[in-house]
Structure 1
Amino acid sequence: MSNVTLHISKNFKELLQFLKSISFSRAIRVGIAVTLPVLMGIQLGYFEIGLALSFGAFWSSPSDVSGSFRHKIKGILISATLVMIVSFIKGYLHFQLWLLLPVLGLLTFTIAYISIYGFRASLISFSGLMALVLSFANESEELEIYQYAVLIGVGGLWYLLLSKAWHRINPKAETEEFLSETFLLTSELIETRGKLVNPHEDHEKLQSKLLKLQSDLTTNHETLREILILSRRTSGWSNYQNKRLLIFVQLIEMLETAISNPVNYHRMDVLFNDHPQYIKRFQDLIFEMSYQLRMISEAGNDHRKLPKNDFMRQCFENVRRDVALLRETKYYEEYLMLQNLLEYQEKQFEKLKSIKRLLGDPNSTEINVIDRKKAKRFIAPQDYDPKLLLRNFSFRSTIFRHSVRLAVTVMIGYALGSIFAFQNPYSILLIVIVIMRPSYGLTRSRAKDRMIGTLIGGAIAFGVVFMIQDPYVYGIMGVISLVIALSLVQKNYKASATFITLSVVFIYAILSPDVLSLIKFRILDTLVGAGLSYAAMLWLWPAWEFVEMKESIEKSVKANKDFLHKIIEYYLLKGHIPTSYNIARKQAFLETSNLSSAFQRMTQEPKSKQREMNKVYELVVLNHNFLASLASLSTYIQHYDTTEASERFKTATEKIAFNLERVVQCLKDKTCNGAGASSEDTTLFDDQLPVFNYLEINTLKSNDTETLRELQEAHLVWEQLEWLFSISGRMLKLSASVKLD
């Protein structure tokens, strides 16, 4: 019985979380924006005007996504303008099929090509495509073309007004939800790192999970960074925004520390195999940290629910006591390794305490203020140069190919729908623009989910309509289904497709009793549209990921090389950490995340297109391990006073940087011969390493912390340099042999 209760409680919590989510809130907003004008139009006798306003609001809504509110406003305004222009043009497209098809294809290509300007532009493009396709479904009999187009634009402004009012009512919603999600993702990432401590776990599986989590977390950071840094500062908001920005900074540093590794995994595995008692000690500590982050996420703004530190402190005491035993028993190297690992966890604990301190006193005004001018440098500005359109006007551009592919598929879909007398040819086009994406994997996944969702939705709708014959019930259920469908688009596309089908059937059932015919054609349209989309991805200028993989690896290696240079520079010069250092760190994490995402897309493609999978996977993992090692160095040198850099340090880092430069060259140059030279340098590199004689640490006096600190620094830094050189050498050999052309 307790298990059943627990299950019910868990599902109830998830339901409440969903109802509080910004996705559900946005869907409610769209539902109001769409239904209110129609209801008022019916009530006042201006149904056509109300319908036009509803269409305008609905078509402008895709730009209302998470991010800076100023960017949202601009996106919705541009969407409203675009759908107004498209509706005006569509009003005059009364051509014969042979002439309509090329015009339709040209319009589709032009609108889709707007996506070249980034993510928000792709949403504006989607609004335009929806307006183009759905305009075929509704042609006003009472309004002139220009009147209808203007009302469509006014509908977009109506949605903008509603969105702005909604934001005024609850301006903190997005910030709080994304912070909560960041806490949860960071918690899961730390827990995964804790599992990696155990040498008996499946490291390959955990490593893959780690890559996915890091990618999700980096994407989450990008959105939260935009929300916090680009939001307007008002007197009532300033303290709140500053606190959340400081919390965000702590979470970014927790990510860096979480992926840090004092030594390479092999050495750590050997240590824990020889001393298994330390596995549980460190895992207890790491898992408690993960648990506390989850509790912080659930606590929200209720500081009374924040977790206490008592158990965490006890975990630290246990670890310190056991690590000290290694010093007493003369396991000197093991002592230094675990002492460094322990100090990394202590730094995590400090960041955790800082977060709880910032959340625990909501009225405090004594907080550091982050310079927003410097903070804006962390947000990469989108290039809106018109020349970008010309630079990408070739089949080398993924967006260009996608736009051409979409245009051709839309033409074929409309021709089939017209020639074979489908009930609504525009339904095929709608399925095509909703399903088709630039990547094969996502298109295939959406096509499958759409078909399954439509079949399930059709079956449910038929059962409901068969039992209930009340148009008012249909109207209510149609709106509820639309809201649920829109709120699930990003989370569960299959369920979203099910509710979209329900919404369409219920609304159509109000106008016509022939519901069975609608369901039949709805399923047929979906099958044809999904089939066309899938076939187009396979045969019409396909964009296989292996073609872009070299560039993705190259960008990530370059970003890691830049981060390495900033670490070297800071280690040499000391002083304050410059903003450029943190920007280089952010870029390294971002490009590593992008590389991981590119590899995930490659795994979803046909086996025949998965070129050099083993080598590519190894390069992705090595690149991630290289960043983890850099993060270890970065974390250490930021928190401790380090000694003066020796000539051997400079020589070693130069060789590592040189290896990375050669990796980049190998990825560019097909005739690269980088495999042999690396092994020659190994001996030279080893000659540069210091002769590291482990002193009898237990003979040091308890207050001789300086000598102990120098030993820890030497151990961590030189272990990492040796590890970095080893990774860069293996990457060089792989990049010289991998063939992705």
Structure 2
Amino acid sequence: MNYSAELKKFITSQYVYSAIRITLATVLPCLVLAHFGILKQYFLFPLGTSFVALTDQPGPFIRRRNALTFAIFCFVVVALIASLVMKIFLLVILEIIVFGMFFSIIGVYGQRLAAVGSLSLVVLAIFIDGHLTGENIFKSLFIFACGCAWFLLIFLIVTTIQPYKLASQMIGENYLQLGEFLKIKANYYQKNPDFDKLTTQVIAKQIEIKNLQEETRETVFKTRTIVNESTTTSRLLMLMFLNSMDLHEKLMTSESDYQKLQQSFEDSMILVQIHDYLNLLSEEITNIGISLQIGTRAKPMFNLDLEMQNLNYHYFELRNKEMSVDNLENFMILRQILMRINEITKEISEIYKVFSQDVKLAKSLSTGLDLRKFLPNEEKLNFKVLKNNISFSSSHFRHAIRITIALLIGYLFSQFQFLGIGHTYWVLITIVAILKPAYSITKQRNLLRLYGTIAGAVIAYGILHFLHIGSLLFGILLISMIMCFSFLKGKYFWAVLFMTIYVFLSFNFLSPGNIDAIFRDRIVDTIVAGIIAFAVSYIILPVWEHTQNLDLMKKSAESNLVYFQSVMSKFLTDDFNLEDYKVKRKNAIISLANLSDNFQRMISEPKNQQKKLEVVHQFVATSHLLTAYTASLSQYSQNNETYPEIDAESWSKKVEAEMNQTYTLLKGNEINEALKMESRIEPEDSSIEDLIIQRKNELMEDESYDRRDPNKISHLTELKNIHDVLELIYDVAKEQRKVIEKYKNEEITPPQS
């Protein structure tokens, strides 16, 4: 592992940058207030700042600004109502019900408002018993509101000074993910790879890439200064992001029959050499990502032309020494792989050229695409959407009921002093943090929260027991806050661990000497809240992932069919619409990632809810292969070559018939005979076999034949690869259809108990 690169990836990321901004926005007022000796009286100021800061999700400036403004309004209203009714038990119960339902169900409008809703419930937990407001409620709320507004001011100043910073960091992160993706793919070429493990890693990484691409699309395509191409920076960022999506597709095209490849070349070093070269390319992609995150222009780390020449040299040496009539087709497959790797190399070189564009050249850069077609779908802010989700069939509504019941139970439990619960607010905050719409996420967060809290509490206890130097403790507090906010999205255990440390240190500064009570209360409160959250998620209107499998499989099957049709359009009519193709490619990748993500969550659910797990796993695997093989085929539809030897019409009918059969079964309809007949069509690609036979005869007649042009590939090799890819797509589509037949049969005849 390149630890230097890993450290750079982390410290230049948007998460660390955001964490530092949040920490400074929160801590600086604390230092000023502490200097004047009034920090205890004005503690609600930095608290409000940190709450609003946590609602700031990546995205376009206008949406972030509006969300922060809405968050401030919600927080102040919730704090006001909670402070006014805190002594009236029935009204407290009523506010938990009303706020619990409303702030949970607004998640139908997307992650941004879901974050505002969750933090509004945290504010409710903080103010529900009045321990922070004191006697002068309105003064306390004014201080809290000022703290909330302070972060909005910081946000406006920072985004004005650095309007492109977030977009640049997010695009950089796309490249970092692609670098990791290529590193995984490279492992298929090492000696004795674990194919099942690597396939699982590839699918998991595809999910991460899809989620990140969706977030980046919204940020880039809805930021006016970028879309309008008004500056050099905006145009370069737009092209860098679009190039990252094209590079993603090229990385997917490297899909091959790896097991056959390993068997064919197990006695040579060529696959290991490919593995090493792909790792070099991975480092170059990572270098581009880090440079984007920093905001500097990237320079190549290696001489890729020389490295590619060396790889081609080893291939040609092996070919001239080992190629025979018997293994000709194996070498044709290997040659095609090298050409794909060459295409990836060229793509990376082009990205470096875009990155190094000067101002004059950059003014001529244009995407030529209708960017609106690439934006992620989202619910519009209208009452009809909310109204339609007030139904037990809505997962958002069911989640709102669960979290409201859990908050009620948590509040009622906290009223029984003999249970030893330290603070009502910590129980309620923990419930809000743990309880998520999906049971699997709730279960995972429950354990991570418990482990993180215990580990963090032990570390913090040790720090406070052995260290008594104020400046050193303050430094640890700052580092803990930054690390907590940095890990909050991706590594929940570490986020909770550092959160627990800085909470302990904060309380120690405010009220020294209560470390034992804080230690005991945090552990007890977290355990109680975890038990409540787990029980409610399992018992109260749970939404199991298997209930969504059918819809997601339909969407994936349909998207793969449309994607394949778009690619085949070039072979059939010589009419290829690049923009339409890219939209359909995006939809196929998103559908595949959504299905894979749902399956991953399903694995974490109770065994009795893992319905048809094996069949769903087979469908996910075949869907991944269909998308990857179609991406491989697409490389031939985007060049100017023609392939009349390929019976494209028959192949199109044959493959589409299999895909349509799968989609028909998923919709619950019967397959008609016409589709069955079309799937049995035999394409007339016999001329390819004749050409291969001719080539074998040439080998037999002239063993000294040696042609070395790494930038060219024979027309025969291309034809052979297109034919093989179409066969692979058909075979996988046929296998997927059989998987769905099994899936439907299990529905009709459930297993006997």
TM-score, with normalisation over the residues of structure 1? 0.88
Query: Match of 2:303?
Result: 308
Q: Is the 8 A contact 1:256 1:635 kept in 2?
A: no
Q: Secondary structure at the match of 1:618?
A: helix
In 1, distance between residues paired with 2:125 and 2:645?
65
Q: Deviations over 1:178-234 (max 9, x none)?
A: 344333332332233233246842211111111112222222222333333333428
- Higher alpha-carbon deviation: 533-542 or 35-44: 35-44
- The code of the aligned residue for 1:311 comes to E
User: Could you tell me how far 1:340 is from its partner in structure 2?
Assistant: 2.5
Of 100, 105, 111, the match for 1:113: 105
Judged with a 3 Å threshold, the aligned counterparts in structure 2 of structure 1 residues 13 and 407 are, in CA distance, closer, same or farther, namely: same
1:319 aligns with 2:315: yes
More deviation in 406-415 or 64-73?
64-73
Q: How does 1:396-411 map to 2 (within 5 A)?
A: 396-411=393-408
Distance 1:348 1:150, change over 3 A: same
For residues 208-607 of structure 1, the aligned pairs below 5 Å read 208-233=200-225, 238-261=231-254, 264-265=257-258, 268-269=261-262, 271-272=264-265, 276=268, 278-297=270-289, 301=296, 303-304=298-299, 306-309=301-304, 310-320=306-316, 322-323=318-319, 331-361=327-357, 365-366=361-362, 369-371=365-367, 374-384=370-380, 385-420=382-417, 422-468=421-467, 477-509=476-508, 510-511=510-511, 513-574=513-574, 577-607=577-607
The 1:151–1:555 alpha-carbon spacing in structure 2 relative to 1, beyond 3 Å, is farther
Aligned residue in 1 for 2:152: 160
Query: Structure 1 residues 618 and 170 mapped into 2: Cα distance closer, same or farther (>3 Å)?
Result: same
Q: How does 1:67-78 map to 2 (within 5 A)?
A: 67-78=59-70
1:721 is aligned to 2:721: no
Partner Cα separation in structure 1 for residue 269 and residue 174 of structure 2 = 32
Aligned counterparts of 1:282 and 1:506: Cα–Cα separation in 2: 51
**Secondary structure of the corresponding residue to residue 108 of structure 1:** helix
What's the CA shift for 1:614?
1.7
2:370 partner SS: helix
Q: 2:695 aligns with which of 697, 716, 720?
A: 697
Aligned CA distance change for structure 1 residues 57 and 139 (closer, same or farther; 3 Å): same
The offset of 1:523, in angstroms, is 1.0
**Residues 259 and 97 of structure 1: CA distance in aligned 2, closer, same or farther (over 3 Å):** same
1:228-248 CA distances to partner (integer Å, 9 max, x unpaired)? Answer: 333342899722232233233
- The answer to whether the Cα contact below 8 Å between 1:460 and 1:502 also exists between their aligned partners in 2 is yes
Asked whether the 8 Å contact 1:299–1:305 carries over to 2, the reply is no
Against the structure 1 CA distance between its residues 448 and 709, is the aligned structure 2 distance closer, same or farther, given a 3 Å change threshold? same
Cα deviation 1:23-54 (Å, max 9, x = unaligned)? 23322322233334455456668768844433
Question: Within 1, Cα distance between the matches of 2:569 and 2:709?
Answer: 29
Report if aligned partners of 1:272, 1:279 keep a CA contact under 8 Å in 2: yes
- How far residue 103 of structure 1 moved from its aligned partner, in angstroms, is 3.1
Counterpart of 1:249, as a letter, is L
Find the counterpart in structure 2 of residue 187 from structure 1: 179
CA contact (8 A) 1:34 1:58 kept: yes
Amino acid at match of 1:87: A
Amino acid at match of 1:134: I
Structure 1, unpaired ranges of 5+? 1-6
Q: Could you report, residue by residue, the CA deviation over 1:79-121 in whole angstroms, capped at 9, with x for unpaired residues?
A: 1122122223223323543453243122111111111111112
- Deviation sequence 1:431-454 (CA, Å, 0-9, x none): 100111112222222211221222
Change (3 A) 1:688 1:543: farther
Aligned partner letter, 2:365: V
Identify the range of structure 1 (301-310 vs 693-702) with the bigger mean alpha-carbon deviation.
Answer: 693-702
Deviation at 1:572, TM superposition (A): 2.7
TM-score after normalising by structure 2? 0.87
Whether 1:641 aligns to 2:638 is: no
The unaligned stretches of length 5 or more in structure 2 are 700-704, 748-753
**Shift of the alpha carbon at 1:424?**
1.4
1:528 deviates by 0.3
SS of the residue corresponding to residue 415 of structure 2 reads: helix
C-alpha distance 625-676 of structure 1, shift in aligned 2 (>3 A): farther
Q: Deviations over 1:349-389 (max 9, x none)?
A: 11011122223455562575234761232112422132221
**RMSD (Å), alpha carbons:** 3.5
The worse-fitting range, judged by mean Cα deviation, of 10-19 and 344-353 is 10-19
Change (3 A) 1:713 1:482: closer
Contact persistence 1:187–1:294 (CA under 8 A): yes
State whether residues 556 and 588 of structure 2, in contact with CA within 8 Å, keep that contact through their aligned partners in structure 1. yes
- Give the letter aligned to residue 422 of structure 2: Q
Secondary structure of the residue aligned to 1:685 is coil
| Cα deviation code 1:262-282 (max 9, x no counterpart) | 764565455446x74543454
Moved more, 87-96 or 15-24: 15-24
Out of 240-249 and 109-118, give the one that drifted further: 240-249
Of stretches 721-730 and 24-33 in structure 1, the one that deviates more from structure 2 is: 24-33
- Note if contact 1:306-1:356 (Cα within 8 Å) is conserved in structure 2: no
